[in-house]
Amino acid sequence: MESMGNMIRTHSCNDLRKANVGDEVVLMGWVLRRRDHGGVIFIDLRDRWGLTQIVFNPETDPEAHAKAHQLRSEWVLAVRGKVEARPDDMANPKLATGEIEVMVSELRVLNSSDTPPFPLDEDIEVSDSLRLQYRYLDLRRPEMAANMVMRHKAVQAIRTYLDDHGFLDIETPMLTRSTPEGARDYLVPSRVNAGRFYALPQSPQLFKQLLMIAGMDRYYQIVKCFRDEDLRADRQPEFTQIDMELSFVDEEQIITVTEGMIAVLFKKTLGLDLTPPFARMTYDEAMSRYGTDRPDTRFAMEIVDLTAIAATCGFKVFREVADGGGTVRAINARGCGSFSRKDLDDLTSFAVQLGAKGLAWVKMKAAGEWQSPIAKFFTDDERAAIARELDAVEGDLFFFGADKPAAVCQVLSELRLELARRLGLLKKDVFNFTWVTDFPLVEYDDKEKRFQALHHPFTAPREADVDRLETDPASVYSRAYDLVLNGTEIGGGSIRIHQRQMQARVLKVLGIGEEEARDKFGFLLRALELGAPPHGGLAFGLDRLMMIITGSDSIRSVIAFPKTQKATCPLTEAPAPVSRKQLTELYLRPDWKE
């Protein structure tokens, strides 16, 4: 292997154009492909920026040509050469550098490579675990490299925007105290303080509130957060949050500054011009129209409430649900009347898996005729009324949900998405933002037999509802807001409680007495007694946001070194065993089978 010697790179592998013809250049990069044609060797040299074709001609430089014969995929080269125009019929219009090639006069082989465990120049299926084990190879693939570049651009755009708007980037501790976010903490045993543990932050929630109380006025941080939860496809043990907090503002100012940030983000990453203000919808409206507080508004297919009709109809199942305080709702899958028996069976299983007892469907035929197992239970008038409510025409297909409201919402909202998936309505190049506002402050937890905060215990109640806090907590709305993009909650936040008395009242509603409160976050309560300004903020999930921006199917595609669903890293083999001495130093003993 050779050193770079006196060679200094002059261009990236994506720089050279026809205007460079005649220039002497130095390129460095990886061998993507080698082709030999009539004694001439052609190599696609790759770096982060792109590809350039380099050419070894035995007549130009016999020595380099001879060396080039040994080159294999992923070897690392430095080449000096002259930029030449490709003959017109050899130009590659798909490649930015496709009009030129570099005739090599000096070759240095900076490193060799074993044959990679999977090829990088073909779009073949590679197992996730192999990709993660050889992540450094996986990241060489242009799509993955582009994701990393996009993520960099995104955070840089956000940072610049927030800097321009008076936000201070302030770091909060990683070794901290368990915050009451509800999820399980990752713990870090202390060696100096026997029997005590740090927790890795689930979010910097309390610290950012303290920073507002400290007068920092506008804070942001792009920060790692941690949850030791059972993992799903979209979850990682550590994830990155764009965390913001502002003082002396209300919802409107926070929403405005956030919309500006999102607009800049999409401009700087995708070149798109979003046009704030974004749509807004109350929680109640989102639940009734979409059955979820994360409405995907890229398509309509809204949920329609038919309880009134159902209450008097001839179909006993519906009638009983309506009479028993339940709800009957439906969605109209426009033009899906041609769905097959199998389609309907699949959708029925889908609904049953979500907890439905079955799935009533109706195919709308000509002249308002219904093709449906339940057609016979409805009068002509009822059918007409239902069709009117659903705005149904010939060729439509509709589905009913009849149950308690929460159950119906869950089934119909998921069914709506499944239908959209089948119909290709979930377009990746459409970006529909919706603010969901006016959430309930609390919800009743049937298992724990107490009220839980819908967001977190520091969310302010709506001022107009405060009088009902103790008497009818379920009717109190909060000053929380979520930003939903294409059916995914990408961010959320609230105006916080900044007064000690109010915080105590809300904690009491949540069943947290003064003593427990003082024990868990006494420092926040104390801070509220020492001049806390009105404040609020929000946090975005960067990984999910980048997944949507890059059109990726998994958040793993936008994280350089992600973990598996078992929270392991196939590359480094973390987590790993430690020595007994290390445990002893931490005042711990094993409680596992070795």
User: Burial letters for 412-448: b for 16+ Cβ neighbours within 10 Å, e otherwise?
Assistant: bbbbbbbbbeeeebeeeeebbbbbbbbbbbbeeeeee
Element at 280 (helix H, strand E)? strand 279-282
- The distance of closest approach from Cβ of residue 367 to a copy of itself in the complex, given in angstroms and rounded to an integer, is 58
- The distance of closest approach from Cβ of residue 63 to a copy of itself in the complex, given in angstroms and rounded to an integer, is 22
489 assigned to a ligand binding site = yes
496 assigned to a ligand binding site = yes
- The distance of closest approach from Cβ of residue 391 to a copy of itself in the complex, given in angstroms and rounded to an integer, is 41
Per DSSP (E only), the strands in 532-574 are: 535-541
- The distance of closest approach from Cβ of residue 583 to a copy of itself in the complex, given in angstroms and rounded to an integer, is 8
| Closer of 8 and 474 to a copy of itself (Cβ) | 8
| Closer of 239 and 283 to a copy of itself (Cβ) | 239
| Closer of 46 and 544 to a copy of itself (Cβ) | 46
| Closer of 352 and 578 to a copy of itself (Cβ) | 578
| Closer of 366 and 464 to a copy of itself (Cβ) | 464
- The distance of closest approach from Cβ of residue 213 to a copy of itself in the complex, given in angstroms and rounded to an integer, is 4
Angle between helix 142-164 and 251-270 (nearest 10): 140
382 assigned to a ligand binding site = no
Dist. CA 479–CA 100, nearest whole Å: 59
Task: Report residue 258: phi and psi, to 5°.
Answer: -70, -45
Dist. CA 271–CA 262, nearest whole Å: 12
544 assigned to a ligand binding site = yes
| Closer of 198 and 398 to a copy of itself (Cβ) | 198
- The distance of closest approach from Cβ of residue 514 to a copy of itself in the complex, given in angstroms and rounded to an integer, is 17
Dist. CA 566–CA 271, nearest whole Å: 37
H, E, C per residue of 332-389: EECCCCCCCHHHHHHHHHHHHHCCCCCCEEEEECHHHCEECCCHHHCCHHHHHHHHHH
122 assigned to a ligand binding site = no
Task: Report residue 301: phi and psi, to 5°.
Answer: 45, 45
Distance (Å) of CA 568 to CA 226, 430, 561: 14, 34, 11
- The distance of closest approach from Cβ of residue 380 to a copy of itself in the complex, given in angstroms and rounded to an integer, is 56
- Nearest-5° angle of CA 251, CA 459, CA 279? 35
- Candidates 510, 396, 400; CA nearest to 454 is 510
| Closer of 209 and 437 to a copy of itself (Cβ) | 209
CB 503 within 8 A of CB 496: no
228 assigned to a ligand binding site = yes
- The distance of closest approach from Cβ of residue 573 to a copy of itself in the complex, given in angstroms and rounded to an integer, is 7
| Closer of 478 and 486 to a copy of itself (Cβ) | 478
Please give the structure tokens belonging to residue 25.
């250049």
On the CB side of 377, CA atoms within 13 Å amount to 18
- The distance of closest approach from Cβ of residue 282 to a copy of itself in the complex, given in angstroms and rounded to an integer, is 21
Distance (Å) of CA 377 to CA 166, 305, 319, 361: 64, 19, 11, 13
Pairing of strands 304-305, 100-111: unpaired
| Closer of 371 and 572 to a copy of itself (Cβ) | 572
185 assigned to a ligand binding site = no
236 assigned to a ligand binding site = yes
Task: Report residue 92: phi and psi, to 5°.
Answer: -115, 100
Pairing of strands 442-445, 370-371: unpaired
Q: Which residues belong to the annotated binding site?
A: 181, 227-229, 236, 455, 489, 496, 541-544
Residues annotated in the binding site for ATP, as ranges? 227-229, 236, 489, 541-544
The annotation places the binding site for L-aspartate at 181, 227, 455, 496
